[in-house]
Structure 1
Amino acid sequence: MSKLPHIVHLVDDTTPGGVMRVLDHIYGSPLMAQAAHHEIRAVPRNKGIPAVQADMIVSHLSISWRRLPALVSLRARHAHLPLVHVEHSYTEAFTALNVPSKLRFFTLLRNAYALFDTVVAVSHAQGDWLTARRLVQPQALRVIPSAVDLRSFRALPAPRPGGRTIGAIGRLDRQKGFDLLIRAVTEIRDASLRLEIFGTGAEEESLRALAKGDERITFHGHAISPEAAMRAVDLVAMPSRWEAYGLVALEARAAGRRLVVADVDGLRDSAGSEARFVRGHGIASWSNALSLALRSGADAADESRASGAAAEFAAAWNNLIAERLGQPAPSLRAAG
C-alpha cells in the first residue's frame, strides 16, 4: 500500500466556531483518512508562518494587508508544493456592509488569492461572487460546501408536535443578526412562543438589554454541545447579515428542524430548499416569517436530513488533493 500524502492545514483562529468544527471533521473523518493524512497546525495571527514539511498546504488563514507579506513568504519558501486557500470569511454581503474602500479590498484579495494554486469557496453563492468580481481565475476556483459529521444530529428526537420554541445558535455577534431576531420575537403576541439563545460573544450585554422584560426569551450561554442546543428547539432562525456558509443550518436540516433564514450568501446553500427565506432584515418581515413557520408544522423540515453532505465533502476534498498531487482520484469505501 502506497504512503498517503501528508496535508497540513494552517489556521490562525482556533476559537470555537464553524471553522474549527470543519477542521476537526477533516482531521477525524474516516472517509478523508482513506486518501490523505491530515494535520491541523495553528499559527500566530499577523506573524510569520514557519516552514512546513508536507505534500500540500491548505490555508484557512484570514486575509489582510498585514498578513499578505507572510503569505508571499509562504509561497516563495514552498514554491514546489501545491498551495490551497479556503475562504471562510469574505462574501458579497460582508463586503457591502463592512468595506468602505472596495477597490482597495478587491486588490488585496486578488493579490492574496493569486499566491495559491486553488481557492476553495465554501458555498456556491460565495463562489459566484468571487468569479463575478474576478477575484479568482475560474480555473483556480473550487466550490466545496462545508460539512461535519451529522449522524448525531440525525439521531436527535423529532421536534415536538406543535412545538413553538425558536432557537438562535451561534456567536453573539453583529454578523448573526440576533438583535433583529429579538425585536421580531417581541412583536409576536404569542404567550406560548419561546426564544432560546445559545452562545456567547461581544453583543451579549446589549442583546440581554434588548430582550429585557420579555420572559419568553432565555440566554443559555455556551451550549454543552451543538446537539444539546438543537435538541431544545423546534425551529432554528438565522437572520445573519452575512454568512459564508452557515453550518448551523446544515445541522438543523439533519436534526429535522424547520429553518427561517436570511436570503443571503451561503445560507442559500446550507439551508436547503425547504427553508423559509426572508429577504432583507426588516422587523415586520421577520415577525411574519417566524409566525408562518411556527404554523407550518414539522413537515416543513428537510425530509432528506441533509443526507450525503459529509460524503460529498470528503469526495470533493479527496478529488482536489488527488488533482493537485497528480494522482488518480480515489474511490471512497463506506466508513462507519
Structure 2
Amino acid sequence: MSKPRIVHLLDDTTTGGVTRVVTHICNSQRLANQAHHEIRVIPKNTADVPVIEADLIVSHLTISWRGLAGLIALRAKHPNISLIHVEHSYTQSFTALNVAKRERFFSLLRTAYSLFDTVVGVSRAQYSWLVTRDLVAAERSCVIRSAVDLSAFAALEAPTGPCRVFGAIGRLEPQKGFDTLIMAFSQCQEPDARLRIFGRGGQHEELERMAQIDPRITLEGHAPDPVRAMSEVQAVLLPSRWEAYGLVAQEALAARRRTLVAPVDGLCDQLEDGAHRVARNTVADWTRAIDASLTADLSKIPDSQARLSERVAGVFERNWEGLIARSLVKELPVAA
C-alpha cells in the first residue's frame, strides 16, 4: 500500500525561515515513514491555482487580499481533501505596527482561515492571539512550534570566558530591529565588546551609516553558513519588532549561546528554553541587557538549553505526525 502524498505549497523560496522549516519537514526520516512529502511552488497572489494530486495539502502561503481568490480556488478545486494552513507571518505585534485598518485586516484573516480545515500557529504566543482575536476557532487550530535541524548548532563548542562578542543574525529589514540594537550597543562602555551583524537586506546602507559611529560594530554581510556565523559569537541578540517564532533564537540556544530576546510574539516562547527577556524593546533596555551580559557566567548553561536540539526535533515531528494522522481521516486537532 502506497504512502499518503502530502503537498506543501510555498510562494516564497528564498532561504528564509519558512523555506527552511518546510524543507526540514520534507527531509525528516521519521515523517517520511508516515507519508511522502513534497514542495510545490505557487506564484504569489495567483488566482490560477491548479488541481493538485494529493491526499493532504499544507499551505505555507502568505495571506493577502490579492491572494484570497487563489485560496478560494484552492478550496473549491479540492472539496474532499483536508487543507491545512500554517501561519508563518502575522502576529499581534505585526498588526499593531503595520496595520491601520485592523478590522478590515481581521476580516481578511477570518475569511482565509475559514477555507482550511486546520490553522497552525507556529508559537504559543501567536496561537493565543489568533484565538483570542476570534480569527480562528480553537477547535480548528493548534500549535506546532517551528523547527529546523539544530544538530550542527548543538555540536558547536560552548563559549567560555567573559561575554564580549555579541551577534545579530537575520535579514537587514526594519522588522529585525537592528537599528535599535546599534544605538543600544554604541552606549555600552566596555572597550573590548564587539557587535557583529550578519545578514543582507534593504536596510543595509542605513545600518552601515549608523554603525560608523562605533568601530566596535561591524556588518558582516550574508552568512551562507549560519553555523559558522554562530561559532564566531558568544551571545545572540534578537531585538525584533515582531516575530512569529524566531528560529535564530532556537539555533543560538542549541549552540549554548547567551540569547537575549525582545518581549514580542513568538520570541516569548523562547524563554522556557533558556532565553533572557529584555524588559522592553527600547534602546535603554537593550543597553542595560548588554551591560548585564558583560558580567554573565557563560559556563552556566541550563540543562534544558543543553538538551534543546534533541527535544525540539522530537516534539516537532511528533506534533506533525499527529496532525497528519488526524487530517487524513478528517478529524480536527485539539489545541495544544
Question: Residue 314 of structure 1 aligns with which residue?
Answer: 317
Q: Aligned partners of 1:308 and 1:99: how far apart in 2?
A: 36
Question: Residue 92 of structure 2 aligns with which residue?
Answer: 92
* Backbone CA RMSD of aligned residues: 1.4
3-state DSSP of counterpart to 2:37: strand
Amino acid at match of 1:101: K
Offset of residue 300 of structure 1: 5.2
1:28-76, Cα deviation, whole Å (9 max, x unpaired): 1112112111101111111122211000000000000000011001000
3-state DSSP of counterpart to 2:162: coil
Offset of residue 151 of structure 1: 0.8
3-state DSSP of counterpart to 2:195: strand
Question: Residue 206 of structure 2 aligns with which residue?
Answer: 206
Amino acid at match of 1:40: I
1:102-160, Cα deviation, whole Å (9 max, x unpaired): 00000000000000000000000000000000000111011000011111111011113
User: Which ranges in structure 1 are unaligned for 5 or more consecutive residues?
Assistant: 329-336
3-state DSSP of counterpart to 1:311: helix
Question: Residue 334 of structure 2 aligns with which residue?
Answer: none
Amino acid at match of 2:328: L
The answer to whether the 8 Å contact 2:7/2:57 transfers is yes
User: Which ranges in structure 2 are unaligned for 5 or more consecutive residues?
Assistant: 332-336
Q: Aligned partners of 2:273 and 2:251: how far apart in 1?
A: 15
2:53 is aligned with 1:53:
yes
Question: Residue 326 of structure 1 aligns with which residue?
Answer: 329
The answer to whether the 8 Å contact 1:253/1:271 transfers is no
Q: Aligned partners of 2:311 and 2:85: how far apart in 1?
A: 24
The answer to whether the 8 Å contact 1:195/1:218 transfers is yes
Offset of residue 274 of structure 1: 2.6
Q: Aligned partners of 1:303 and 1:270: how far apart in 2?
A: 15
Q: Aligned partners of 1:217 and 1:207: how far apart in 2?
A: 10
Q: Aligned partners of 1:201 and 1:160: how far apart in 2?
A: 32
Q: Aligned partners of 1:144 and 1:273: how far apart in 2?
A: 16
3-state DSSP of counterpart to 1:161: coil
Distance 1:235 1:203, change over 3 A: same
3-state DSSP of counterpart to 1:295: coil
Question: Residue 251 of structure 1 aligns with which residue?
Answer: 251
Amino acid at match of 1:61: L
Which stretch has the larger CA shift, 68-77 or 216-225? 216-225
After TM superposition, the score normalised by the length of structure 1 is 0.95
3-state DSSP of counterpart to 1:298: coil
The within-5 A match list for 1:157-176 is 157-176=157-176
Q: Aligned partners of 2:273 and 2:27: how far apart in 1?
A: 29
Offset of residue 271 of structure 1: 4.5
Question: Residue 117 of structure 2 aligns with which residue?
Answer: 117
Question: Residue 25 of structure 1 aligns with which residue?
Answer: 24
Q: Aligned partners of 2:274 and 2:75: how far apart in 1?
A: 43
The answer to whether the 8 Å contact 1:249/1:271 transfers is no
Q: Aligned partners of 1:325 and 1:230: how far apart in 2?
A: 39
Offset of residue 311 of structure 1: 1.1
3-state DSSP of counterpart to 1:129: helix
Offset of residue 273 of structure 1: 4.8
The answer to whether the 8 Å contact 2:160/2:299 transfers is no
Question: Residue 180 of structure 2 aligns with which residue?
Answer: 180
3-state DSSP of counterpart to 1:89: coil
After TM superposition, the score normalised by the length of structure 2 is 0.95
How many residue pairs match? The answer is 327
Offset of residue 326 of structure 1: 2.1
Q: Aligned partners of 1:195 and 1:293: how far apart in 2?
A: 13
Q: Aligned partners of 2:240 and 2:301: how far apart in 1?
A: 20
Q: Aligned partners of 2:302 and 2:214: how far apart in 1?
A: 31
Q: Aligned partners of 1:252 and 1:29: how far apart in 2?
A: 22
Q: Aligned partners of 1:34 and 1:297: how far apart in 2?
A: 43
Q: Aligned partners of 2:117 and 2:132: how far apart in 1?
A: 19
Q: Aligned partners of 1:226 and 1:15: how far apart in 2?
A: 15
Amino acid at match of 1:176: K
3-state DSSP of counterpart to 1:54: coil
2:37 is aligned with 1:38:
yes
Question: Residue 14 of structure 1 aligns with which residue?
Answer: 13
Q: Identity rate of aligned residues, in percent?
A: 51
Distance 1:117 1:28, change over 3 A: same
The answer to whether the 8 Å contact 2:163/2:295 transfers is no
Q: Aligned partners of 1:145 and 1:324: how far apart in 2?
A: 18
Question: Residue 263 of structure 2 aligns with which residue?
Answer: 263
Distance 1:110 1:229, change over 3 A: same
